[in-house]
A and B are shown apart, each in its own frame.
Chain A
Amino acid sequence: MEELNALFGGFAVALSAYHILLMVIGITLGVIIGVLPGLGGANGVAILLPLTFTMPPTSAIILLTSIYWGALFGGAITSILFNIPGEPWSVATTFDGHPMAQNGKADEALVGAFTSSFIGAIFAVALITFLAPVVAKFALKFGPAEFFAVQFLTFASFIGMGRGSAMKTVASMCLGFALASVGLDNVTGTLRMTFGQDELLNGFKFLVAVIGLFGIGEILSSMEDGLKFNGATAKLRMDAVIRTWKQLPRMWMTFIRSCIVGCWMGITPGGATPASFMGYGIAKRLSKRGDNFGKGELEGVVAPETAAHAAGTAALLPMLTLGIPGSPTAAVLLGGLLIWGLQPGPLLFVEQKDFVWGLIASMYLGNVVGLIMVLTCVPLFAAILRVPFSIIAPAIVFVCAIGAYTVNNAMFDVWMMLVFGIMGYLFNKLRYPLPPLVLALVLGDQAESSFRQAMLVSQGNVGIFWSNWLCGGIMTLGVVMAFWPALQALRNKFAGNGAVARAA
């Protein structure tokens, strides 16, 4: 119960009018940052960092983490409304979120996304509150082989999800891997597939590809069908929150599964992006309504959002206790901690009790304040869809161009965005699934690096992946997941053929 006392002490620190005001400011900024693909959490935090030099560290971190929460909430908005994921972990949200918007249920999708983000985050904060020391030790067990096992599991849980041609899925995923390999090879320091072109040094960044494939591709498709966005005619009703919340309790299993997946991936540190994909994949496979996923199912929004935010929140734990940033935003936050004279690392929880518990309390409060703020704004967000298409379409191209440019500050990426746009349109038309491509692009080089690091460690012995229980267990689970569709087909066959076989 020591933790509870400490936590109440933390609430006493965090719960002041000044701090609540800081939260409101931070979350507003965060939502703006999350909505615009050209601004990342790192921008917001970096800009505000100098302002915080004069504040006490606890106030400063409350302001800065509020931006983080705001950005997490905000990422879902453009995914649902325009099929443009502003952040990597919002990609899986588009799969059902955007179809929902096209069916005129944008408000329900938004409420569902915000609520499940909140639940995921709160679950993870509770975990941090009570299990931080235990969990931090667990993260230390992860070496290259374990990282690869986690990444393998992510791919495995996603295989066989797409509808349509299996060969098109393979082609699409492998294209993602090929694109991910462009640029500097982390393991040997050699340049790959750059052919002497300076523009290719950076490789194909996820955000450029996603803005093009999803955002520009969607605009092209909408234009082809006529000058409108589907769902623009949706009636705005003010009871969206109640209407959506009524549907949520029956998805309790999805919530629990996604929370666990998210916390696991956040701590291990797999990250929020694989967590969202895995959450979606598992829900699709195990949910009763799994067959409807991809057509605009609320559960398909809930699953990835819960997992992503549980992971995003849980990822702050390794940052605080081990000093490893889980994301660029966390990296800038880490820099902030150093400037305020706080050294992240194992001793932070011991030496800076007030700061740490103030921060944890602010995680609870920040998420509550954030949820209230974004829920009240749902009608406003949904109303964006009513802006005439001839304004919104070029404006989206403009904002996408800014987003692509800011990734590397290069015009080349803006051109690539247009090329990816045509690709996205064609792939949609010909039923090449995009999610495997995106997943491979995000995780491809990480998975390859982990695999090769593991090979260096084991001197080229593949047996390392089954050298201990943790790693072997995850790998075996991955293999089972990968062959799950085949196993299920086999079982069905046996069940169906059983009688015949016996008769014969």
Chain B
Amino acid sequence: MSSNEEAEGRPLVSYRTLDIAVTFFFLIVCAIVTVDSVRLGIAWKPNEGPMPGLFPFYMVLAMGIASLFNLWRALPQSEEGSETAVTSVGLGRMAAIFVPAVIFVLATNYIGIYVSATIYIGAFMIFFGKFPIWKAAAVSLGIAIVNFMMFEVWFLVPLPKGPLEAALGY
């Protein structure tokens, strides 16, 4: 997923492809749940009623049938289906917030959520908001500190913290 900012809206994915991909996602979920439901038992026990697997099994069965129907509807080439769902510019813009978000979550494991968020918000403001660095630093630090006070100090809700907070005694 590279953020290709310069491309002029090249069509990437059609609705048809996307639709088919999502029905496959449904079918995979369906298969996974079916396996475990069968292990748990999908019978109706006398005196007790449904076994633990019965409800999930019939739910994903309905989901599977609906998805096959959706797949059947999506498969044929149609005018509506071949319209562009995502362009390269759109994908690039989404990646611009999403990829850093993934890095932000990853970094949280090591440096804690507050430091990670400060960098994330600050960097986003500088690169995509074209804010001057001092403004970005002030705003992102401010947001992180307000949240830190709110969660750690005031409401005593512990969030992931890293070496910096440890050095400060938290």
What residues make up the interface of A, taking CB atoms closer than 8 Å to B?
32, 36, 38-39, 43-44, 47, 165, 167-168, 170-171, 174-175, 177-178, 181, 185, 187-188, 190, 192-193, 195, 216, 219-220, 223-227, 388-391, 393-395, 397-399, 401-402, 405-406, 409, 411, 414-415, 418, 421-422, 425-427, 429-430, 432, 448, 451-452, 454-456, 459-460
Contacts and interface: CB of A to CB of B under 8 A. Distances in A.
B22 A430 contact: yes
Give the interface centre of A192, A216, A394, A402 by most chain B CB atoms within 10 Å.
Answer: A394
B46 A168 contact: no
A170 B59 CA distance: 9
B155 A43 contact: yes
Interface of B: 15, 18-19, 22, 26, 29, 32-33, 36, 40, 44-53, 55-56, 59-60, 62-63, 66-67, 69-70, 73, 85-86, 90-91, 93-94, 96-98, 100-102, 104-105, 108-109, 113, 117, 120-121, 124-125, 128-131, 139, 143, 147, 150-151, 154-160
B157 A43 contact: yes
A175 B52 CA distance: 17
B162 to A, nearest CB: 13
Contact of A181 (B56, B86, B97, B104): B56
B105 A411 contact: yes
A362 to B, nearest CB: 23
Contacts of B104: 397-398, 401
Give the interface centre of B18, B105, B109, B159 by most chain A CB atoms within 10 Å.
Answer: B105
Given A390-B131, A405-B160, A171 B26 contact: yes
Given A178-B33, A411-B109, A418 B101 contact: yes
A188 B49 CA distance: 12
B31 to A, nearest CB: 11
Contacts of A44: 155
A195 to B, nearest CB: 7
A449 B139 CA distance: 48
Given A390-B125, A429-B18, A459-B47, A181 B55 contact: yes
A192 B147 contact: no
A394 B121 contact: yes
A401 B113 contact: yes
A296 B170 CA distance: 45
B94 A391 contact: no
Contacts of B157: 38-39, 43, 406
13 contacts: A39-B151, A167-B66, A171-B66, A174-B62, A192-B36, A223-B96, A390-B124, A391-B121, A397-B97, A398-B120, A415-B105, A418-B102, A459-B46
A451 to B, nearest CB: 7
A307 B131 CA distance: 44
A317 to B, nearest CB: 28
Interface of B, helix, strand, loop or mixed by DSSP: helix
B66 A219 contact: no
Contacts, number: 186
Given A177-B56, A452-B50, A393 B97 contact: yes
Contact of B49 (A165, A393, A430, A456): A456
Contacts of B53: 192
B67 to A, nearest CB: 5
Contacts of B113: 398, 401-402, 405
Nearest to A175: B63
Give the interface centre of A43, A174, A427 by most chain B CB atoms within 10 Å.
Answer: A174
In the complex, the 9 A-B pairs of residues with the closest C-beta atoms, listed nearest first: A455-B49, A390-B129, A174-B63, A177-B59, A224-B90, A170-B66, A171-B66, A394-B124, A181-B56
Nearest to B55: A448
A168 B70 contact: yes
A462 B154 CA distance: 51
Contacts of A170: 62-63, 66
A407 to B, nearest CB: 11
A436 to B, nearest CB: 12
Contacts of A451: 49-50, 55
Contact of A452 (B19, B49, B59, B125): B49
Contacts of B131: 390
B147 A224 contact: no
A432 B23 CA distance: 11
Given A165-B73, A216-B101, A226-B93, 5 more contacts: A39-B150, A390-B129, A418-B105, A426-B22, A430-B15
B59 A460 contact: no
Contacts of B33: 178, 181, 193
Nearest to A459: B47
Give the interface centre of B52, B85, B93, B94 by most chain A CB atoms within 10 Å.
Answer: B52
Given A168-B70, A391-B129, A426-B18, A401 B108 contact: yes
Contacts of B143: 395, 398
A459 to B, nearest CB: 5
A36 B32 CA distance: 35
A395 to B, nearest CB: 6
A171 B52 contact: no
B62 A47 contact: no
Contact of B94 (A224, A398, A432, A448): A224
Contact of A174 (B40, B45, B59, B108): B59
A167 B55 CA distance: 19
